Amino acid sequence: MPTYSIIKKSQLEGTKRLDAEYYQPEYLALQENLEKTKSIMPWGEIEGKFITGPFGSEFDTENYVQDGEYRYVRGKDVKDFFPTDGDNVYIPKKDYERLKKYSLLEGDILVSVVGTPGIGAIVDSTLLPAIFSCKSTVYRTTSINPFYFIAYLNSSYGRKLLERGVRGAVQTGLNINDLRDLPVFLPNVGIQEEIGDVVKNAKKTFDSSKSLYFQAENLLLEELGLKDFESESGLWSAVNLSEVQKANRIDAEYFDPKYQKILSLIRGNDGMALGELAAVKKGFEAGSEAYQEEGKLFIRVSSISKDGITDKDQKYLKDELYDQLKKEYQPKVGEILLTKDASPGIAHVVKEPIEGIISGGVLRVRLKEDVEPEYCALVINSIIGKLQVERDAGGSIIAHWKPDQVKELQVPILPKPTQQKIDEFVRKSHEARRSAKLLLEQAKKKVEDLIENKTE
């Protein structure tokens, strides 16, 4: 059924927008609710400073350095509430000093303005020193509690009304005036602090989750003698003809000494091929024509991280198609979902029932030997798995990891008590992450309830 809005001419004045999308009933209802509170102010009228990122020409991304001190926060690093921390890139000190006017401060608000516009994240001390890219805009203020403000920006009001301002068709984005026009709900200082404290507690819980995961990975590497493993490539290596014939590869990268070194350490710890430990089954490629706006979840490579199945840009399938496919392609609790395409080598253990099926770029790994699932997933996500995936790619950008190669992935088998200890660290890490997400949902709900209660 079509939806429509009837707009008065007076409502068009000052907006400089005539496109129907801007006046969708959902946006108008949110705007009306905010106006009824009589506690709003356009973002641009709140005392503070907007700072745009450097032009792309000011820094060549080919100059990234490995594990440096000065972080470069890209557009894709800006996620709900907090920037990501796991796929970081860094820049040389000389570039940081040259671009220091774009350096971030604790409490800054980062808003993505290109790519997926309208995502807000707050900067904390663990991110610094850092500069940000032109894909984001920074807002710096002492006039509003930043932890409250980030909850507002990520609430349905902030997110949807920023989405309303997005311009363009192919390359969508927000400009400074779009941000300035956003109506901001401003409760009293006490309420701001109360909601801000919920967000702060969520951040502490996320940090605890990271610490627990680090302890698990650290224990794994220590037990394997890989704690201080150097993964730099060697200049040359000598291999027997029989090794070349067995691998059916002649590229030098495949025989880099770092791979031989890590494989020998794995074999020294009773390493077994994943195909011996588990049944590995490929998913189903439904094709984009089968995607629906609602229905049963279609789990693609982009849906999976080591922390779980993301809820961004999800695709769905009809219930009828799901019913046909679920017997073969629906993951079960305790199985490992493992990506093989685009971003291969990401593993996650299914922790609760899922009504959905996996795509052709994802594998179901069902362990049949007495190996702890979280332990096995951690091995794959660690340098142990990453180097083996990199090796199979021949040193190029990985597009596909063949199921036969996946089955040959070597997994070290540590003593059961050690596996269980590692498994517990990982489980506690995931529990902490889940608790942190619930706290963030509470913060958003508190903002939304405040606005809606004031409209009654």
Strand pairing class (336-339; 304-305) = unpaired
In tens, the pLDDT along 410-435 reads 999 999 999 999 999 999 999 999 99
In tens, the pLDDT along 218-262 reads 999 999 888 776 655 554 454 444 454 455 554 546 555 667 777
Contact 304, 348 (CB under 8 A): yes
CA–CA distance, 256 with 421 (Å, rounded to integer): 33
pTM: 0.83
> Which 3 state secondary structure label does DSSP give 150?
helix
pLDDT of the chain, 456 residues: tens digit per residue: 445 455 554 554 455 554 556 657 788 889 999 999 989 999 999 999 999 988 877 877 788 887 789 999 998 899 999 998 877 889 999 999 999 999 999 999 999 998 888 999 999 999 999 999 999 999 999 999 999 999 999 999 999 999 888 876 666 788 899 999 999 999 999 999 999 999 999 999 999 999 999 999 999 999 988 877 665 555 445 444 445 445 555 454 655 566 777 777 787 778 899 999 999 999 998 888 888 888 999 999 988 988 888 877 788 999 999 999 999 999 999 999 999 988 899 999 999 999 999 999 999 999 987 899 999 999 999 999 998 888 886 545 556 888 899 999 999 999 999 999 999 999 999 999 999 999 999 999 999 999 998 755
For CATH 3.90.220.20, the residue range(s) in the chain are 9-186, 213-415
CA–CA distance, 173 with 118 (Å, rounded to integer): 9
Q: Label residues 262-289 b or e (16+ Cβ within 10 Å = b).
A: bbebbeebebbebeebbebbbbbebeee
Q: List, in order, residues 6 or more apart from 256 with CB less than 8 Å away.
A: 233, 234, 237, 391, 395
Sheet holding 136-140, edge to edge: 49-52, 136-140, 109-112, 120-122
**CA-wise closest residue to 179 among 195, 196, 158:** 158
CA–CA distance, 96 with 90 (Å, rounded to integer): 9
Which token pair is 1?
């059924």
> Which 3 state secondary structure label does DSSP give 341?
strand
Side-chain-facing half-sphere of 15: CA atoms under 13 Å: 17
Q: List, in order, residues 6 or more apart from 319 with CB less than 8 Å away.
A: 295, 296
Backbone φ, ψ for residue 208 (5° rounding) = -65, -40
Amino acid (one-letter) located at 126: T
Task: Count how many residues are written for the chain.
Answer: 456
Contact 107, 144 (CB under 8 A): no
What is the CATH code of the structural domain delimited by 9-186?
3.90.220.20
Give me the residues paired with residue 367 across strands: 278
Cβ-count burial of 402 within 10 angstroms (0-12 exposed, 13-18 middle, 19+ buried)? exposed
User: What pLDDT was estimated at residue 214?
Assistant: 94
User: What pLDDT was estimated at residue 225?
Assistant: 85
Cβ-count burial of 261 within 10 angstroms (0-12 exposed, 13-18 middle, 19+ buried)? middle
Strand pairing class (304-305; 272-273) = unpaired
Backbone φ, ψ for residue 150 (5° rounding) = -70, -30
CA–CA distance, 262 with 268 (Å, rounded to integer): 10
**CA-wise closest residue to 208 among 126, 329, 331, 151:** 126
The fold adopted by the segment(s) 213-415 is: Adenine-n6-DNA-methyltransferase TaqI; Chain A, domain 2 (3.90.220)
CA–CA distance, 219 with 214 (Å, rounded to integer): 8
CA–CA distance, 117 with 168 (Å, rounded to integer): 11
Query: What is the end-to-end Cα distance of the chain in Å, rounded?
Result: 29
CA–CA distance, 181 with 175 (Å, rounded to integer): 10
Cβ-count burial of 238 within 10 angstroms (0-12 exposed, 13-18 middle, 19+ buried)? exposed
Mean pLDDT of the chain: 86
CA–CA distance, 38 with 175 (Å, rounded to integer): 26
Q: Is the peptide bond before 42 cis (omega within 30 degrees of 0)?
A: no
